């Protein structure tokens, strides 16, 4: 392949990547972070093909096997290998959909076998210890208690919690509206404990005079900055509280979500209900997490979640 052919090849690849990015944005409704991850993984394949002088539309299963073997040789973890190959499958599926290819070369491409590593689960007592570790003499104390209750009582992703808006709260009905991955919305029942903690926080929030333009609709705000809280702020807050509570586990906001699902399952909740509450498209994802109508969902969480059970003891 001469220099002119290489330049032409590069231009065509860039055009394909540009169209693929549009596909991920418009058709798949993926977040910018997820799209960047897909393109970053895809770049590894393009780099390999460039070294081997292979056009992206000429790839076959043998070439992909060699590429996958190369990932193993350079020490990439099996979980990362699986993610990269998943991204490549998505790209070639796009090429078939857009009629660049007649057959998908990734159809028989297998991912490496990886063990399932479940995150730590907190006990109800440990969750109480973390919440009780909040310093209520500080301005942000009540806000942080409300955050922890909401993470555990509703099983939210930290990104969902950060993007939660006042218009998403339906306290009288006992639900909150959550925007999950891909912009998909779901209704999640909220416990009485979480509502109480939020209402106490709102007494402070309503007195804020420094809220920045464009941030006034968000539920959780920084008292100092007047802006919505970031994921990093919540990660740091939880890390400090876990240390203060004397808990020796790896705990993140996601740990509360996993504990939410596990405790519901242990309490006898229906797996399908848990799937809907977590916003999982596939029930197998929920099965990994755990070891309809809205009335039924509310009944499930009221009957089986520890925060609600306490009120009936």
Catalogue the active-site residues: 157, 181, 254, 257, 280, 289
Is 169 in contact with 176 (CB distance < 8 Å)? yes
User: Beta strand 185-189 with 169-170: parallel, antiparallel or unpaired?
Assistant: unpaired
Look up residue 181 and give its DSSP letter.
G
Tell me which residue has tokens 């392949």.
1
DSSP 237-298: HHHHHHHHTT--S---HHHHHHHHHHHHHHTT--HHHHHHHHT-SSHHHHHHHT---HHHHH
Residue 209 vs residues 204, 224, 282: alpha-carbon distances, Å? 11, 10, 44
Sheet of strand 185-189: strand arrangement: 169-170, 175-179, 185-189
Name the CA dihedral angle for 288, 292, 298, 301, rounded to a multiple of 10 degrees: -20
Contact 98, 19 (CB under 8 A): yes
The three-class DSSP label of residue 41 is helix
d(CA 261, CA 193): 18
Are the CB atoms for 170 and 156 separated by under 8 Å? no
């Amino acid at each position: 392949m001469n220099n002119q052919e290489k330049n032409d090849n590069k231009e065509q690849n860039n055009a394909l990547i540009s169209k693929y990015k549009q596909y991920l944005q418009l058709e798949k409704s993926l977040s910018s972070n997820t799209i960047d991850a897909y393109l970053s993984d895809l770049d590894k394949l393009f780099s390999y093909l460039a070294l081997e002088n292979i056009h992206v539309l000429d790839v076959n299963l043998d070439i992909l096997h060699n590429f996958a073997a190369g990932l193993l040789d350079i020490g990439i973890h099996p979980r990362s290998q699986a993610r990269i190959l998943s991204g490549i499958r998505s790209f070639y599926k796009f090429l078939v959909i857009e009629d660049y290819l007649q057959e998908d070369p990734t159809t028989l491409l297998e991912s490496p076998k990886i063990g399932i590593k479940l995150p730590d689960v907190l006990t109800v007592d440990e969750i109480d210890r973390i919440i009780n570790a909040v310093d209520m003499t500080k301005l942000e104390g009540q806000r942080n208690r409300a955050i922890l209750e909401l993470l555990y009582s509703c099983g939210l992703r930290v990104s969902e919690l950060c993007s939660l808006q006042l218009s998403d709260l339906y306290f009288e009905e006992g639900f909150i509206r959550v925007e999950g991955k891909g912009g998909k919305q779901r209704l999640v029942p909220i416990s009485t404990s979480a509502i109480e903690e939020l209402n106490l926080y709102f007494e402070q929030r309503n007195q804020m005079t420094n809220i920045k333009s464009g941030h006034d609709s968000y539920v959780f705000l920084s008292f100092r900055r007047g802006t919505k809280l970031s994921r990093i702020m919540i990660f740091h807050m939880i890390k400090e509280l876990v240390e203060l509570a004397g808990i020796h586990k790896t705990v993140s906001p996601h740990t509360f979500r996993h504990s939410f699902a596990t405790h519901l399952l242990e309490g006898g909740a229906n797996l399908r209900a848990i799937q809907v509450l977590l916003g999982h498209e596939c029930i197998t994802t929920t099965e990994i997490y755990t070891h309809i109508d809205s009335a039924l969902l509310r009944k499930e969480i009221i009957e089986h979640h520890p925060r609600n059970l306490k009120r009936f003891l």
